[in-house]
Amino acid sequence: MNKLINFFETKKALPLLLVLFLTTLVYSNILSNGFVWDDPDFYQNWPTLYRWDNALNLLGGEVPLIHKGVYRPLRGLIQLILFQIIGPKNFIAYHLVSLLIHLVSVIALYFLIEQIAKNRLIAFLTTLIFGLHPIHTEAISYLTTSVDVIGVTFMFWAFYFYLFWRQRHQNWQFISAVVLGLLAFFTYEMTLVLPLLILLVEWYFAEFNWAKTIKQIKNLWPYWLGIAAYIVLRLSLNTGQRFLTPDPNQSNWHIRILTMGKATLKYIYLLFIPYPLNIFHKINLSSNLFQPKIFLSWLTIFILIGILIFSAKKLKLASVAGLWFFIALMPVSNIFPTGIIMAEKYMYLSSVSSALLLALLIYYLIKRGKIFFQASAIILTLAIALVYGGLTYARNFDWKSDLAIWQATTELRPDYGRVWSNLGFSYYKEKNYEKALENFLKARALEPELPLIYHNLGNVYDEMGDYDLAIENYLKAVKTREGIEFYNRTETYNNLAIIYQKLDNLAEAKKYFQKAIDFDPTYFKAYSNLGVVALLEKDYATAQDLFQKTIGLSDNFAPAHHGLAVSLVNQNQIKQAIPHYEKSMALDPQLTDNYNHLAFIYNQSGETQKALDILQAGAAANPNDIELRTNYGILLANNGQYQQAIVELQAALAIDPNYEAAKKVLEQITKK
């Protein structure tokens, strides 16, 4: 036993590698996960990430319109770099980045706790618990929030270098601590508490002497300036605000603070007993301090803080661990509205508290010396590792897809309309429109004033061909969103316009496409759709201009390149059109009109082999497209390649035996 303890107390690399191995093991199943929830808003549908020259906009705090209310400029820049390297669909690469972020945080935390506790065994136990903790799945397995966590990673390393500088007083260490701290502030506002956490540790090092601790405030001047700069920039830029309710008066400062009492105790519970995990924990808003739950919640919080402060000399590092939790939670305490009363992702930084407390408990048992206590410590360590690791691994399966996470969430929150709406949207994306409609109607019954539900109902009625109901629900979505800043009407206007286009009401279609553009001038799909209307009206110059604007916003949008090519062809600019057909084909091999149009151009210009090659590539990429197979067969026959033509035409008829064009040509060939 003593040899085992000595190993963890004297070795650094091997214990840390063990933690990293186990952490990687329990998160290994996220590599097969896809995008969920808000991920597509950032990594597929946000035009800003498609161009490097948007970097300055990101540093100015730009986020997708629906996510306004935060100021994380460096996060946006990191997202741009990731997107430009990885692209919009490489899920494995994105989740590998998420895992690496967590692992680097674990490494930083090991070195940080080692500096604070002056004990490698405590550092090992803390990082083991932190690395495996199930509460982190929302912060790591959910890609969008994992990039936020980079800010916490910066903060851990800043803290470590500060403590390193405190011992050796070398300039590079202090500069590193300052730079990393500032990077943390502008990546994730949760880290603005860094100087308070440093003062907490200074208080510990000063043996809880307030006078000595206060003297250290001056050493943190770069952090105070950084916090001031962050606040000034956020207030001066139009970052917007997030509210808990559509009517901000229903969740004013008084209500938010009272409600946070209940949320804080729920956070504490989940840090030690992380089950069940849930995206939307049920925390009802409260407005009366003397409601029993509210009063008891705040009484408990004040008692805990009082014990941690006034018994600090007895509790020592345990007091630091407990107070860490309350300090780390301050940025999301809803003194300023965050739009969320409680979220598991907010516990990434505060979970250091419970990890350190459990580590200190295990260390205390080990140091009792008796075999019983040491055996109990080992059993407790194994139990925590197995239970936490198992829960993390299991929860990662819930984050596999939208359908999986919202099915799991409806089991815990069947009373919450937007959960059913999100589940319905998951079915909608899988083209299961009956199930989607069923869930949207459940959502409407629970939250009849939630605009998103009517938007989603409009989508599903559109797909089911009931255009009147689609229009009715889209208009209801727009009406319920009026005056609500943080609801995005852009997509609703766009989809409403598409319905009118299907009904050949081009005037109404143009009106609503333009409304979408007016509401969000970066919404590239509306420009492209308006370009399609211009093509239908044979206004090819206007169409060209609109498609060029689309490409200026998002160069990787295949339909815009196709539309631009069509508008150029109709203006006899054939050579200029060809590169756009080719790019559209490369971006979206399933956009079959590209192959047919480009093959026609080459065939008309006498380049038959090029036309054949293009149709062959199209048929290979879209083997079930009857028009492509037929056109390929016809061109083969016209080129005298009858046997191959028969093969392609038979393949077309295998898709639809009654397809007249293929039947007619095949009959003509077989008669020869």
Per residue in 127-183, pLDDT (tens digit) is 999 999 999 999 999 988 999 999 999 999 999 999 999 888 888 999 999 999 999
| CA–CA separation, 199 and 205 (whole Å) | 10
Q: How far apart are CA 625 and CA 602, in angstroms?
A: 21
Instruction: Please report the pLDDT score of residue 247 as a whole number.
Output: 54
**Burial of residue 507, with CB atoms counted within 10 A of its CB: 0-12 exposed, 13-18 middle, 19 or more buried:** exposed
CA separation, residue 611 to residues 330, 576, 594, 628 (Å): 64, 17, 12, 12
Q: What percent of the chain has pLDDT over 70?
A: 96
Give the up-direction half-sphere exposure of residue 224: CA atoms within 13 A in the CB hemisphere. 7
- Stronger pLDDT, 114 or 490, i.e. the higher one: 114
Average pLDDT estimate for 492-513: 94
3-state DSSP: the chain helix, strand, coil percent, rounded to 5? 75, 0, 20
At residue 486 the predicted structure's pLDDT band, cuts being 50, 70 and 90, is very low
Torsion 560-561-564-570 (CA) sign: negative
Q: Average pLDDT of the chain? A: 90
* Nearest CA-CA partner of 647 in 619, 613, 621: 619
SS3 191: helix
CB 187 within 8 A of CB 145: no
Tell me the longest C-alpha to C-alpha distance in the chain. 104
Q: How far apart are CA 165 and CA 130, in angstroms?
A: 25
Question: Across the strands, what pairs with 242?
Answer: 338
Specify the pLDDT at position 672: 59
Segments in 482-505 forming alpha helices (H): 490-502
- Cα separations (Å) of 583 from 526, 555, 563? 20, 10, 12
pLDDT value for 483: 54
Q: Are 123 and 50 in contact (CB under 8 A)?
A: no
Within 248-297, strands assigned E span none
**pLDDT-based confidence at residue 391 (cuts at 50, 70, 90):** very high
Give the lowest-confidence range in 99-108, 401-410, 546-555. Answer: 546-555
**What phi and psi values does residue 580 have, to the nearest 5 degrees?**
-75, -35
Spatial contact of 565 and 581, defined as CB atoms under 8 Å apart:
yes
Query: What does the block give as tokens for 260?
Result: 């946070």
In 10 A of CB 446, how many CB atoms?
A: 17
Query: Contacts by 575-579 with C-beta closer than 8 Å and gap 24+?
Result: 577/601
Return the DSSP state at 64. Answer: -
Rounded-to-integer distance, Cα 229 and Cα 492, Å? 37
Domain ranges of the chain: 26-398, 592-672
Closest CA to 384 of 418, 429, 354: 354
Whole-angstrom distance, CA of residue 134 vs CA of residue 130: 9
pTM: 0.84
DSSP per residue, 353-377? HHHHHHHHHHHHHHHT-SHHHHHHH
DSSP 66: G
Contact status, residue 616 vs residue 633, Cβ threshold 8 Å: no
Annotate 8-37 with DSSP letters as a single string. Answer: HHH-SHHHHHHHHHHHHHHHGGGGG----T
Collect all residues with Cβ–Cβ distance below 8 Å to 615 and sequence separation of at least 6.
595, 596, 599, 628, 631, 632, 635
Looking at residues 30-34, what average pLDDT do you find?
A: 93
Class for the domain spanning 592-672: mainly alpha
pLDDT at site 63: 83
Predicted local distance difference test score (pLDDT) of residue 70: 85
Which of the pair, 311 or 240, is modelled with greater confidence? 311
